[in-house]
Chain A
Amino acid sequence: MIKKLFQTIFFALLFVISFLAAQTSAQLPGNLTALLDVLPTENSVIAELLLERIIAQDDGVEILCEALQKQPRDSVLQYAINGLAKYVSQKKKSKRRDFNKALCTGLTAHADGNVVANAFVLEQLKISASAAELKKIKSFLFDDKLIDPAIAVFIAVASPQGGKIILNALKQASDAQKLKLLQALGDLKYQPAEKKLTAFVRNENERLSTAALQAMVALASPKMIGEAIAFHQKKEKKTATDYNALRLQAARRLIAQGDKNSALQIIKPIDAHVLTPHLFTQLLQLSCDLAPAAGLAKCLTAAKNTDPKIAVAAVKIAAANRSSESATKWISHFDQINAVAQPHTVDLIAHAAIAAAYPFLEKVLQSDNQANRLAALRNLPSVAGKNAVPRLLAHLQGKPAKKEIVTVMAVLSGLPLADSATPLIAKFPTLPDAALVAALQFLQQKKYSGSVDDIIALLGHKNRRIRFAALQVLQISAPAKRIPDLLNYARNATSAREQAEYFNTIKTIAQYRQVLPVQVLASLARLQAAEDLAAKTFELPLLAGFGASEALVSIFQLTKSPDSKLADAAHRALFAWPQTNALETLLQIASDSDEQTWHVLAVRAIKRLIDSSDFIAAAKVHYISRGLAVCRSDDETRLLLGSLSQVQSADALRLALKYLENDSLKMAAGAAVVQIAAAQGYDEMDELTAGLLQAVLKNAVNSPAFDRIESGFITQNEAPDSFVTLFNGKDLSSWRGLAADPLQRQKMTAEEYAQAQVRADSSMHRHWRVEDGMIIFDGLGQSLCTKKDYQNYELRLEWKIEKDGDSGIYLRGVPQVQIWDPAFNKGVGSGGLFNNKIGADKPLHLADRPIGEWNSFRITLIDDRCTVYLNDVLVVDNVVLENYWQRDKKLYPAGSIELQAHHSPLAFRNIFIRELPPTVDTTVVDLFNGVDLSGWQIIGNSDDSWFAENGILTTSGKGGGWISTEREYADFTLELEFRVPSGGNSGVFLRAPHAGDPAYTGMEIQILDDYAKKYAELKPWQYSGSIYAVQAPAKRVSKAAGQWQKMKITCKGPSVKVDLNEERIIDTNLIENMAKTAHHPGLKRRKGFIGFQNHGARVTYRNVRIREF
């Protein structure tokens, strides 16, 4: 159904596309292009419909293959051809055959074509080919570039025809190819190759001979393999030992073929005594496979070996071939078996299902080997059946080690609880303490709810760990009616902790049953009656634990009791109260109590209950406000302001604002205001509150509280769009100490500079710190620098100084945009380029804010020109920043930004930078200075064969050779102009060495009079702009002889692009041309000299410029 729907939509879609398609690709017929435009498809249903259409197209596949030759990396073509290969692979044979045929036709036609394309097509044949196609791709077995994907097709098809073709191919192949073909024969297990392989074992080439031998082992021809190994050994002068692994491998193959006799023959020469442990175990396995009885006997012997690898493997091999008789033998030899292998042997015997197994386990359980005992315990359920539980429990009775207890419990865990709980509890009186604790923990984990009496009885146990473990079980199992029993035990508790544990258990029991048990109510009644004071004192914390309103009044009454112990307990019970229903009572105590301790504890309890409550904001503010009213000290007030800061409401804000006026509380109140306001957002505030807040903020300027309040509103240190932050508000991770000024640095070695940097960083950490989102300087150390160097940028930052403070911002390591206190500097403001001698050194305006307030800088530096805005006022307008360190030089092209230390405390924040692109490309270099040949050297000719005149580089045209740069270049854009005389010839050499013919040892971009008659018959890759002998220009754009022509060559990694007269004529990747490197090794070079060829003509060059990457 869905498929049909898709079909309808799809054809409608296709109809529309076919109208639009014609212009999308010139190379393919319009209807194919339309189909390809939908690739890759969103799902497989559409893909199938589409591919079906491509196949239906006449020559569709051929056309795609043809296009792929030209554009081997066109992903849409790849999607199409690969989609088809997958599609036809499960379709009717005829479709698959036609598709494969088309692929093969394309391949054969372009056998010397694009390697990437051909490899791709072979990979598709790996999916779709059948045996019929194999002979068509045979020729690629002799192509070093394509033999691997070709063999992969043979392996994938895995047919005897393929084996035959490969076998025949061996005659023609090179040695390197033969090696791969021999391996393929082994992988194909092509039996008829046997003779030929035998012959190859005799080959002088050791790699071929060995590959042939390995292939024979893969075939495992019974008659020939033994002989072949013997021959190989003799030929290569090796020892028999070298062949053991191979013999074992061959034997496994033979057994798999059902030929046990031959297998036996092949392993016969193996000397078991020289085998490594793992090969020894291989032999052991084979022995068992070949002759089980003898093999098992060998296993038994091997199990006694001192190497655990061998011993354990022997037991495991035997276990896989287990038989009841042999299990008896293993029992009798048990003591002699390697200790590591013994637990495995216990497994073996247990799994053998023999009557003797149980007595054996029993013996092991009583032995003194713990690892064996553990193995026996693990195996008890399968061997002992119903007896397993009692036997496991019996094991707990002796003196079991911790590991054994854990194992017993783990084994019990794997059995139904119903089988183990009752017997386990019956054993309680006889269990050692550690086992009893583990048993109780086991019952707790199993949420066991029976045998309450037995477990309550344990509360009288002398071991505290047992009592505690029992309580944990009772939390789950005890019914509410057993609470009095627990209370009785609780009274005799030996420590406050234990008593708390009892009370916690009682509370859990009660809560779990969701009742306030009558027993608790009874306690309550006792509290109200003037009875036993001691009992009351004892039960108070328990009652408090429930937080029941019924108890609240009674307990509050008791706080007034004349008995100080009882009053004390009542107070503490209230202070630990878990529910908010005690708030009123606590407020009353806080307000009325004369005892300072009770007052303080009550306020803290109030805070705790409010903080943890789920009250709505209004209720919280209500109680906080009442709490604040009863506070007797600033400390207490601060405590509750802390609670207030967590409440998000206008009421909360108003309440906090009240405390701002109090000098000793304004810090705490300010913090609360900020937190509340920041969480709530200014927009949501009512006008009254907002107005109030603003007024407060205004008054609070210059106070630390103000900074905090303000920073609560404006997100600090978060970069605006397109800027990056230089200061994250938390640490100095973008910064370093100033190690040396540019002049000093020039004189230092790298090592000295590194040491100076270490010292500078250590100084930085002493004097610069981060506080509240600000960088603070203590006025004593050195300047702070960015770790990174910057060229052009817009820098934004905020600064604050104290009275008579002084600082500045260094740009590219050069002083400085001035920061100072205008009052102490004749009223001249900050922002000027203080060290300028030629250009302006003072700001255009006084734009500083009063000392103590934040000022903002916006500094733009482009090349050596600087513009500064101070508090949004333009104070420096595009003025050259002069080089203070080297007055005769321009500003350095790059350098760090520095915050100047000038003996006064400073603060900075919101430091952001946006890097700007260089305006002039300083990286472009003239290779030819127009005056002389400096920077050049002549290769293969006399020094006068090239000369400079009037800005032009010319050759005499005599004597050949070339002119080369003095240094090498790797990745670059080279621009130049050239002029060829009529019939002239030259070339631009790239990445060339000085040896050999640079057109081949490097590469050459051709320069030629393309229109000369004598060049009419050249190959396309010989005309101007071609990569000579490699790639022809995409089109002819050269001008007539005698005219200046422009050329631009870009080499970036293997990518080479050539523009001639502003048109792109070469865009290639050298890796595609690696097939040509045998004759043209220069294509592999990653760097070399650049030069011009002297090819017998007076060729001229000018404006030769290079930009390196």
Chain B
Amino acid sequence: MKRRNFLKTAAGITAAFTIIPRHVLGGTGFTAPSDELTRAVIGVGGMGRWHARLQNSRLLALCDVDANHLKRALEMVGPAVQGYHDFREVLQRDDVDIIHIATPPHWHALMAVMAADAGKDIWCEKPMTRTIGEGQKVIAAMQRNNTIFRINTWFRFRGNFYRFHSTVAPVKKAAENGLLGWPLKITIGKHQGFEWKFFWSGHPVAAPEWIPDELDYDMWLGPAPYKPYHKHRTHQTFRGYWDYDGGGLGDMGQHYLDPAQYILGKDDTSPVEIEADAPQAHPDAVGSWRRIYMKYADGCEIILDGDARDKNAPFIEGPAGKIFPRLKSDIPDLQKKLASLPDPQPQVTDFIEAVKKRQRFALNEQNGHRSTTLVNLGKIALQLGRKLYFDPKSQRFIDDEAANRLIDQPIRRPWVLR
């Protein structure tokens, strides 16, 4: 029997209420996990193979709906690792501690919720979710299951921020201690990732093609609306379609927006105004854009400069000064001033430690949802081509029904995300 027929013959999606590992632990006899944690990777395309190569936990299983991807990844990791076509079978394994989700974004929320409801901890690729509504559902699932969750971006706690030639820590310190005054504006330039990802525009008119034998296209689509297959819609180039992601902004956005949110101290809120300057958006294919502007209630702003109008980006500015790449600044003795100020709160940055000690990871479902929301707000502004007003508390747009319909997008049956 072909693997893809499994679903049709086996119980199928709705017959199982919730995926719970078969092995149920009883009473007080819970067994402590061994020292080495185990993981499975779902989606083993480019990023998935990166997750498969990680050495910080023991790899038990790989899963992909493309038989070629799966075969290639299995060859890479050796015979001890089991391959799967259907991620729900992976979630059934009670010996897997951590699920790495490296699928396209339209699957992230559903898989994260199902994995959490199966008692797994989660390492999820960015962007966290494809819509704001899905992000809220992920938060609920992580909370109810006490899941340890992280997103696979790290600039808020490690590594030089793109083109800034410095970590974000000193900037955070300057912002937090009022060296720049308030409110602040962060300008992010096109050379921070979205420029070289602009080629992830979709093809507005792509004639359908035969689905390749190795690909279970229906499962690849999963919760996404059914559209006839064209190879450009899938591997590597899927980000060019709103159904699955949002172009370079979707791909790279969380990388540069999450640190911006961290610097501004907006981990628990969202902007109130969003505006995009872009050509008219196609309903299906993602295009390019010139500028995206976001403003928080206290006046802090984030600018995404898509056509390199602002020189020296990225930079941060406030009424009392600016900081440019390599920490160049118009504030005299900035570095010395920074040194004497209290450091920002330390962060939990080792995911494996976090799982073992059950600590909340530095970039988790809560603050991660807010930075994903920045990406998703940008996407909605691009799609609708009008200025939007957002209520960060209710997480709804004010007086714009069409925009609100993009917050909770229906998913395709028979998948259910509640």
Name A residues whose Cβ lies closer than 8 Å to a Cβ of B. Answer: 39-44, 47, 73-75, 78-79, 82-83, 85-86, 89-90, 116, 119-120, 123-124, 126-128, 147-149, 151-152, 155-156, 179-180, 183-184, 186-187, 206-207, 210-211, 214, 218, 241-243, 245-246, 249, 252, 273-279, 281-282, 285, 305-310, 312-313, 316-317, 340-341, 343-344, 371, 410, 413-417, 445-448, 1053-1055, 1069, 1071-1072, 1086
Contacts and interface: CB of A to CB of B under 8 A. Distances in A.
B413 A148 contact: yes
Contacts of A445: 339
A317 B21 CA distance: 24
B418 A1055 contact: no
A277 B146 CA distance: 10
Given A214-B17, A276-B24, A340-B356, A82 B400 contact: no
A16 B256 CA distance: 44
Given A151-B410, A410-B346, A447-B336, A343 B416 contact: no
B9 interface: no
Contact of A186 (B342, B399, B418): B418
A973 to B, nearest CB: 17
B30 A305 contact: yes
B414 A74 contact: no
A220 B408 CA distance: 21
Contacts of A417: 340-342
15 contacts: A43-B385, A44-B385, A47-B280, A89-B402, A90-B400, A90-B401, A116-B228, A152-B412, A155-B408, A274-B27, A278-B147, A414-B345, A1054-B207, A1071-B209, A1086-B210
B279 A40 contact: yes
Interface string B364-378: 000000000000000
B385 A86 contact: yes
A312 B146 CA distance: 9
A151 B413 contact: yes
Which residue of B17, B32, B225 has the most chain A CB atoms within 10 A of its CB atom?
B17
A128 B402 contact: yes
A277 B402 contact: no
A90 B389 CA distance: 13
Contacts of B278: 43-44
Nearest to A47: B280
Contacts of B229: 1071
Contacts of A242: 17
B1 interface: no
Contacts of B204: 75, 78-79
Contact of A156 (B12, B119, B287, B405): B405
A73 B27 CA distance: 60
B339 A245 contact: no
Contact of A214 (B14, B33, B279): B14
Nearest to A1086: B210
A103 B246 CA distance: 27
A276 B279 contact: no
A1065 to B, nearest CB: 18
10 closest Cβ contacts across the A-B interface? A89-B402, A312-B358, A307-B30, A44-B385, A1071-B208, A313-B146, A278-B119, A155-B410, A82-B283, A75-B204
Contacts of A78: 204, 282-284
Contacts of B281: 40
Given A187-B418, A306-B32, A1086-B210, A281 B410 contact: no
Contacts of B335: 447
A274 B17 contact: no
B145 interface: yes
Interface string B385-418: 1100000000000011110010011101110101
B343 interface: yes
Interface string B203-241: 011011110000000000000011011000000000000
A679 B352 CA distance: 52
Contacts, number: 220
Interface residues of B, number: 73
Contacts of B345: 414
Contacts of B342: 413-417
A148 to B, nearest CB: 5
A577 B343 CA distance: 40
Describe A's contact surface by its main secondary structure. helix
Nearest to A241: B24
A343 B357 contact: yes
A123 B225 contact: yes
Which residue of B119, B345, B402, B416 has the most chain A CB atoms within 10 A of its CB atom?
B402
Contacts of A155: 408, 410
Contacts of A243: 17
A210 B26 contact: no
Interface string B263-288: 00000000000000111111110010
B208 A1072 contact: yes
B25 interface: yes
Given A44-B386, A279-B20, A1071-B208, A187 B410 contact: yes
B117 interface: yes
B145 A149 contact: no
B55 interface: no
Contact of A246 (B17, B225, B280, B343): B17
A13 to B, nearest CB: 16
Given A75-B282, A79-B282, A306-B30, A156 B410 contact: yes
A411 B410 CA distance: 47
A340 B148 CA distance: 14
B28 A306 contact: yes
A187 B416 contact: yes
A134 B204 CA distance: 28
A246 B14 CA distance: 13
A85 to B, nearest CB: 8
Contacts of B119: 276-279, 309
Interface string B146-159: 11000000000000
Interface in B112-152: 116-119, 144-147
Given A89-B401, A245-B18, A306-B32, A41 B413 contact: no
B226 A148 contact: yes
Given A187-B410, A312-B146, 8 more contacts: A44-B385, A148-B412, A152-B225, A282-B145, A305-B30, A312-B358, A340-B357, A414-B345
B282 A40 contact: yes
B207 A1055 contact: yes
A246 B282 contact: no
Nearest to A181: B413
Interface in B1-39: 12, 14-15, 17-18, 20-21, 24-28, 30-33
B384 interface: yes
A183 B228 contact: no
A410 B348 CA distance: 13
A277 B25 contact: yes
Contact of A75 (B32, B205, B384, B405): B205
A1055 B118 CA distance: 44
A214 B410 CA distance: 17
A207 B402 contact: no
Given A152-B225, A206-B15, A245-B117, A44 B28 contact: no
Nearest to A215: B416
A148 B225 contact: yes
